[in-house]
Amino acid sequence: MKAEHTRKLIVLAAIWVALLLAPYWMAPLGGYTALATRVLVLGLAAMSLNFLLGFTGVLSFGHAAYFGLGAYGAGLTLKFLALSTPLALVAGMLLGGLCGAILGLLIVRRRGVYFAMVTIAFGQVFYYIAFQWSSLTGGDDGLRGFSRQPIDFGAFKLDILSSANSFYYFVLFCFALAVGVMGFILRSPFGRTMIAIRENERRSRFLGIPVERHIWIAFTLSCFFMGFAGALYALVNNFADPRGLHYSQSGDFVMMAVMGGMRSFWGPLLGATVFVVLQDYLSSVTVNWMSFVGLLFVLVVLFFPRGLLGFFQRSKA
C-alpha cells in the first residue's frame, strides 16, 4: 500500500513537471507552444466530460454544446461587454454551466443509449442557434473580432496576447485550478457517491441516495467545467466556431476520454494529447485524414476499449 502511494506521487509529480516544462521540450520534438496550449485546453474538456462519463457512468454525447457555449460566452463578453480576460472566462463558464443545468433537468431520468440520444439532440439545439443567429454569432463564419486581453496585476502586466509562453502558463494555471477543483470534488463524499452510482445504480437507490439529483448535479458540474474549457479555447483561437458545438466535436471528446482511459483521472489528458497531435499531423500530410481518424475510432473500440492507461495497467498486472 505504501509503495503504491509513493508510485502515485511520483507519477503525479512527473505529469506536472512535464506540463510545466512543455514549452521547452515541445519545440525540439517538432511541436510548438500553441499546440501544447491546445492540448491542455482540449484535455481539460475531455477530463470534464470524463467527470460525468467515467466517474458517474453516464454517457453524454452532446457535451461539445457546453464547450461551444463557453467559447461564445467568452467571445461575446470580450466583443460587446468588457475587455477583461478573467470576466470572459467566468461568463463562458456560467453560460455553459447554466444551460447544462437547465437541460439536465429534462434528461436526467434517461439511461444508457437513450441518455446519449437525448443529449445529442439537445446539444444540436445550441449548434443551430449559433449557426442561425448570424447577427449575434457570425453564423457559419464563426464569431470574430475579439482577442484575449493582457492581464493587469497593477504592479506588472502579464502579456498573454503576444507572448505564446506567457499564455501557455496562464492556461496551465487555469487548468490546474479546474483540475484541482475536480479532484477535490471526486475525493469528497459527493464524489464517492457518484462512483457508487456508476458501480451499482440500483443498490445506491436502495441505500437512499437520490440518484437523479446526484446525476443532475454531476451533469451540471461537468457542464461548468466544460464551459470553462470552452472559454479558454475561445481565448486560444481568438475565435469561436459553430462547429465547436456540433455533435461530431462531442464524439471527439468522448474518443479522447476512451482512448486515454475512462477509469482514470488523468487518462483523458493522455487521450487528448495523442488525439490532438495525431489529428494535427494527419491533416498536414493527407486530405483523407477523416478516414484515418475514423479508423482510429474503430481500432480503439475493437482493440483498446480500456484505453491506453487501462492497456498498460493490465499488461503490467
Partner 1 sequence: MMTQLLLFNVTNGLIIGAFYVLMALGLSLILNLSNVINFAHGGFLVIGGYIAYTITPYIGFWGALLLAPPLTAIIGLAVERVLIRPLYGRDPLYSLLLTFGLAFMIEDGTRFIWGPQGKPVTIPAFLAQPLSNDLFFITGYRLFMVVVVMIAVALLFLLLRYTRLGVRIRAGTLDLETVAALGINVGMLRSLNFAVGIFLAGLSGVLAAGQLGLEPTMGTGLLMPSFIAIIVGGIGSLPGTLVGGLLIGVASGVTAVFFPAASEAVIYVMMAVILLTRPRGLFGEEGMMS
Which residues are at the interface with partner 1 (CB under 8 A)?
53, 59, 61, 106-107, 109-114, 116-118, 120-122, 124-125, 128-129, 132, 247-248, 251, 254-255, 258, 288, 290-291, 293-298, 300-302, 305
| Contact assessment for residue 76 and residue 90, using Cβ atoms and an 8 Å cutoff | no
Tell me the three state secondary structure of residue 198: helix
Phi, psi dihedrals of residue 158, rounded to the nearest 5°: -95, 110
295-304 contact pairs (CB < 8 A, 24+):
296/255, 296/259, 297/251, 297/255, 300/255, 300/258, 300/259, 301/258, 304/259
Minimal distance, residue 300 CB to partner 1, in Å: 8
- Pick between residue 23 and residue 57 the one whose CB is nearest to partner 1: 57
- Pick between residue 145 and residue 305 the one whose CB is nearest to partner 1: 305
Minimal distance, residue 61 CB to partner 1, in Å: 7
Tell me the three state secondary structure of residue 188: coil
Minimal distance, residue 89 CB to partner 1, in Å: 28
- Pick between residue 144 and residue 263 the one whose CB is nearest to partner 1: 263
- Pick between residue 7 and residue 109 the one whose CB is nearest to partner 1: 109
Question: What is the rounded distance in angstroms from the CA atom of residue 102 to the CA atom of residue 94?
Answer: 12
Q: Which residues contact 3 (CB under 8 A, 6 or more apart)?
A: none
Minimal distance, residue 119 CB to partner 1, in Å: 11
Minimal distance, residue 104 CB to partner 1, in Å: 13
- Pick between residue 150 and residue 251 the one whose CB is nearest to partner 1: 251
